[in-house]
Chain A
Amino acid sequence: MPSLLNARFIAQCRSVLGAENLIIEPEMLRAYECDALVALRNLPEMVALPESVEQVQALMKLCYEYDVPVVARGAGTGLAGGALPVTNGIVLGLSKMQRILAIDQENRTARVQPGVRNLAISEAAKSYSLYYAPDPSSQIACTIGGNIAENSGGVHCLKYGLTVHNVLQLKFVTIEGELLTFGGSGLDAPGYDLLALTIGSEGLLGIVVEATVRLLPCQPCTQVLLAAFDSIENAGNAVAAVIAGRLVPAGLELMDNAAIRVTDDFVHANYPIDAEAILLCEFDGLLEQVDADLKKTKAILKENGATSIRTAKDSEERKLFWAGRKAAFPAVGRISADYYCMDGTIPRKHLAKVLTQITRFASDLGLKVVNVFHAGDGNLHPLILYDAGHPGEYEKAEQLGGQILELCVAVGGSITGEHGVGVEKLNHMCVQFSSVELRQFERLKAAFDSKNLLNPGKVIPSLHRCAEFGRMHVHKGQLPYPELERF
C-alpha cells in the first residue's frame, strides 16, 4: 500500500535521520501498531528513530511544516493506548536515545536520555548506594520518557511519590522544533511550574529529550509483613487503620482471594490460599525505625482482625512475598485467555464497598475479576478476565471496565491513578470532567500545539464524543452537555 505521507516529507526525514533510522516497510511497522493495550491497533505510516536531540528537533520542524501528526513512544508498555499510532501520522520512537549521560553523586541526580529504562537508572546508581524511587511494575522494560509522559507510579509511591515528585529538570522539544529547559538544577524554580504541567501530559505538549531525576540513598533496612484476613472488609479497614496510625509504609498492597490463589499456583509464594485477602506491608529506613514501625503495625493489623501475620525472616523470603504480587498479572494471563487491567483510584474508606460492588457488576455480566492493588493509596487494578475468542466478551469486559471507573468517580476517586487516559479512557474523561474543564484542557494543549499534531485524539475527548457517550450514560436524570447540538 502506498504511503499516505508526502514523498517530499519522507525524503527530507531520510536526509535528516538517515535511512537506517526510518521504518516504512509495512512488515516492520507491525511492531509499532499498538502498545500494551493490544486490543487497539493502527499501522503507522512511518516510524522515526532519532539518535540525537538535534534529529528530534529537525524531525519536529518537518512534521510541523508538513502537518504530520506525531505519536511519541518509549518502550510501548503503556496500558491505555497512549502510543497507539494515529492515521496519517508517524511514530517517534525514542528507543535509540538510551544513554545515561551522567550520575551526579554529589547532587544525587541522574541525567538521562528518554529511552533509558527505568530500572537501568537504579542499576547505574547502585554503586553510589543511590537509587531512583518510582518503580512501575514494568520497570524492567519501560523507559523514563514514557514514565514522564504518564507520570508513572509504582508499588513505593505511597512513601516516595510519583514521577512528578522525582524529576528536577526536563529538556523538551516543541512541535516547532524549539529546545526548551524546564525546571533547573535546584528545587522549585520561579515562574509557572512547567514540570508539573508536562509530566503526565501523555505526549500532547512536546517531546522530552532529556531528564534529570532525583536519586535517593539506598535504605539500610527493609522489612515486609504478610497479613491474612477472612474478609475484604477487615483488610480494607486495616489499611485505613495503618494509615491513621501515623505510619508511612513504603508499600501497602492488597490481593483478594482470586489473586492469592492464581499467583500462589504460579510462583509458590506460600500465601495463605484460604484467606479472603492478604496485605503486604513494607517498611524501610534505619533498623530502629523499621523495628518500631513493624511493632506498631502488627498491633494494628491484629486489632483489625488479621488471622495471621508473618514477617519475612530474611531477604529471600521478602523477595518471595513480593514475587507473588509482582507475578499477579502474568499469573492471571495463565488462567484466562485475555484480561483487561483497570486503573482507578478511590478514597481508601470506600475500599470494601467498591470491591463488593465490582464483584456484583462482574457477576451480572457473567465475568470474573481478580483484584490486586496499591491499597495504601487507594489505587485499584481490577483485572477483568475474558476470552476475546468468544463473540461479545470483549465488549462485556469493556462495559464492566466502564462501570468500575464510573463507580470510582462516584465515590470521589479518579478514572486513572497511574496508567493514563490515552485512548482507552477518553469516554470516561467525560464522566470525570465537565465541558468547560475539557475546553480548558484544549486551550492548554493549543498553547503548545496550535496545529494539534502531538498525539492528537488522545486524553481530551471531543465534546461531541462526550455528548454521544453521555446519551448512553445519563447521570442523575440530567442530560450532560446540554449546550451541544444533538444528532
Chain B
Amino acid sequence: MLEQDLTPDLLAQVQQAVHTRTHLKIVGGNSKSFYGTPTSATALLEVSGHRGIVSYEPSELVVKVRAGTRLTDLTQLLTDHGQMLAFEPPGFASEATIGGTIACGFSGPRRPFAGSARDSVLGCTLINGNAECLAFGGQVMKNVAGFDVSRLMVGALGQLGVLLDISLRVVPMPEAEITVTRTLSSAHQALELMQQWQREPWPFSALVYDGNKLMMRLSGAETAVHSAASQLGGDIDLNGDLFWRQLREQQLDFFRDAENLWRISIAPATPLLDIEGEWLLDWGGAQRWLKSPVYSEHIHQTVAALNGHAVCFRGSDKTDWLRLEPGLMNVHKKIRQAFDPYRLLNPHRFSPEL
C-alpha cells in the first residue's frame, strides 16, 4: 500500500481557499457523490493521495489510518490479523476511502448488533474551515475529555472539517458465522418474527427480510452459532457471505434499476408503512429500503409522523433532501458556523442552507 502524508499540502490548499474565499469540494474516491445534494463548490480538494496506516496494533484493537486510504486496503489489513471494522461499511466502489466512509457515516448489515460507523470512531485529526489543524479524541476506548468532536464528524459530509486521519476501534472476527434462511411470503409476519427474536439473546450479526426470505447471520463460537441456528430453525445458506456482501454493497437484484431508492430509518417494530413501492427490511426492521415512484413529500411526512427519518439515498428526488424542523436547522447552521465560518467546505452538500 502506498503511504503518503499530504498534511502540509492539504493544509496549504485550505489556507489558500480561506484567503481567497474559495469553496472546496472534498473528494476521496468519489464513490459516494450520489448521496446528499451536490455541492456548489467547484474547486477540488483531493484527499485520496493522503493515505496509509499511521499505526496499528492488533492487541490494542485500534487502527489509525489516513483518510485517503482505500477501504479495501484497510479491511484487507485487518482481515490478515483476524480483525474487522464492526460496522461493516459499504464501499460502493473499489476507490472508496475510509475518509469518505466516515464522512458519510454509512454502516452495513452488522450495525444494529455491533454499532455504527460513529460508534467505532475514537479520534480524528481534521482541518477546519479556518485552516486550523486540530486533533480530537485519541486511540483509547474511553475518552471523555472535551466535546466529542471526532464522532460529530461522522456523517457530516465534510462540512465541519477535512478529515486527515481517523482512529477506529476494531473488533476480532468471530470464530464462526453462519447464515440461516427462512422462506416467508408475508412481510408482516417477517417483521414480527424479527422483533420477537431481537428481544431474545441470540447471537445475531445481521437480520433482514428481502421480500421472499428472512435471512439471519449468527456470529460467535462454532458451538454457539450452531446451537442458535438449530433452535431458531431454517435452512443453512452456504453462500451466505455472498448475500451479505451484495446487500452491503447494494448489488442485490432489489437495488437494480431503482429510480429513487429511499432509506427509511425508523423504530424497528414500526408496522409496514403505507407507501407504495418495493421494500427491503434491513437492520431487523430499523433500516428500510424503499424503491418508490411516490412523491417525496408523502414519504417524508409519513416517516416523520412516526418519528423516523427518510432520505432519498440514490436518485433524482433531492427536494428538501435533509428535512429538519427550523429549530434543528438553526442548530446545524450554528455548528457549521463554529467549524467553517465562511462555509467553504462542501457547501450545499446537505441543503442550500448549509
Contact = CB atoms under 8 A, between A and B. Distances in A.
Contact of B146 (A193, A379, A433, A448): A433
Given A164-B151, A165-B115, A348-B59, A419 B144 contact: yes
Interface string A349-390: 100000000000000000000000010011100000000000
A346 B138 CA distance: 10
Contacts of B59: 240-241, 243-244, 348-349
B224 interface: yes
B334 A377 contact: no
Nearest to B36: A190
B147 A200 contact: yes
Most chain B beta-carbon contacts within 10 A, residue among A241, A244, A418: A244
A193 B155 contact: yes
Interface stretch (B72-80, B194-202, B208-216): B194-202
Contacts of A162: 142
B148 A200 contact: yes
18 contacts: A106-B269, A108-B198, A184-B309, A191-B155, A196-B151, A200-B148, A219-B201, A286-B227, A292-B175, A292-B221, A292-B222, A347-B57, A347-B140, A374-B142, A418-B144, A425-B145, A437-B136, A447-B337
Interface in B48-103: 57-62, 82
Interface string A174-201: 0000111110111111111110110111
B184 interface: no
A330 B115 CA distance: 35
Contact of A414 (B145, B156, B171, B268): B145
B317 to A, nearest CB: 15
B141 interface: yes
B142 A191 contact: no
Most chain A beta-carbon contacts within 10 A, residue among B111, B115, B135, B148: B148
B220 interface: yes
Contact of B154 (A193, A201, A345): A193
Contacts, number: 267
B195 to A, nearest CB: 6
B347 to A, nearest CB: 15
A204 to B, nearest CB: 8
Contact of B140 (A182, A246, A292, A412): A412
B172 A105 contact: no
A468 interface: no
A197 B328 CA distance: 14
Contacts of A247: 172
B117 to A, nearest CB: 8
Contacts of B136: 437
Interface in A120-143: 128-130
Interface stretch (A9-17, A50-58, A84-92, A438-446): A438-446
Q: Which 8 A-B pairs have the closest CB atoms?
A: A186-B265, A246-B172, A196-B151, A292-B221, A106-B269, A417-B142, A185-B267, A289-B224
Nearest to A158: B141
B270 interface: yes
